[in-house]
Structure 1
Amino acid sequence: MLDLFGTDLRQEGVGLPTAQPLEFQIDLILGAAPVARAPYRLAPSEMKELLEQLQELSDKGFIRPSSSPWGAPVLFVKKKDGS
C-alpha cells in the first residue's frame, strides 16, 4: 500500500489503483459458523472520528456497505505522538 499511495493514505484525490489480476482464495471449513464479535464501546469523540473516516473511505470508493455475517470490532490505536 505504501508503494502505491506513499505515506499518507488520506490524501485528497487519491483513488483506488487500476484493478490487477490476483489469485487469492480463503478456504472455509465446511459447517463452520461465521464469527462476529460485538463492537467495543467507543467514547463520543472516537465514534465521531470513526463515522468521519468511514464516510471519507466510502466517498472515495475504498469501502462499501456490507451485510456479511462475518465481522470484527473497530479498535483505535494511538500514534507514537499520542494523537
Structure 2
Amino acid sequence: TNWVPGAAPVTRAPYRLAPSGMKDLSEQLKELSDKGVIRPSSSPWGAPVLSVKKKDGSFRMCIDYRELNELTVKNRYPLPRIDDLFDQLQRTSVYSKIDLRLSYHQLRVREEDIPKTTFETRHGHYEFQVMPFGLTNAPTVFMDLMNRVC
C-alpha cells in the first residue's frame, strides 16, 4: 500500500465498550489469534475498535480505520457497476453462488504493512496478518484478485 508522503503513524485510544461487548470482543480476539489472523503488536499505529450489535444479540468487532484510510493513496482499480453486472446476468442460463465467507482473511498483508493494521483494545494492541475489513483499498485489491482468478 502506498501512503501519503510524510505521513506519520496515527493512533487513537480505544473506545469505551459496554461490558457485554467487552466479553464478545475478548472471545473474538482469542479466536482470531488462535487462527493466526491477528498477533500482539507494539506498532506506533493504532485504530480504535467498535462493537456493533448483531441481530442475534452478539457483537461484531469493527475497527475504525478512518484516520489510516485518510493517509492511504487510493487504489483506482475499477469496481464493477451493478447495472453492468445485471446486464451480464441476462445472457446466462446457469447461475452459481459462491459464499466467500471472510474472504479478505484469505489474503496476507505484506510484512512491511502489517504494523499499519494495528488496532487498540482494552485487552491489548493487535495487528492483522491478513487483510482486515475496513481498509480503503481492500475492495479494489480483492476485486483485482478475483478478476485475475476468473
TM category (shorter chain) comes to: 0.5 to 0.7
Partner of 2:18: 43
Partner of 2:28: 53
Q: Which has the higher helix share?
A: 2
Within 1, Cα distance between the matches of 2:21 and 2:53? 11
Q: Percent identity?
A: 74
TM-score, normalisation: structure 2? 0.34
Structure number with higher relative contact order (C-alpha < 8 Å, ≥ 6 residues apart): 1
Partner of 1:75: 50
- Please state whether the residue corresponding to 1:75 is helix, strand or coil: strand
- Cα deviation code 1:28-72 (max 9, x no counterpart): 344432110111011122111111110111111111111111111
- Offset at residue 82 of structure 1 (A): 5.7
Moved over 3 A (4+): none
Given the alignment of the two structures, is residue 64 of structure 1 paired with residue 39 of structure 2, yes or no? yes
Within 2, Cα distance between the matches of 1:75 and 1:69? 20
Q: Once superposed, what is the RMSD of the aligned Cα atoms?
A: 1.6
- Please state whether the residue corresponding to 2:49 is helix, strand or coil: coil
TM-score, normalisation: structure 1? 0.58
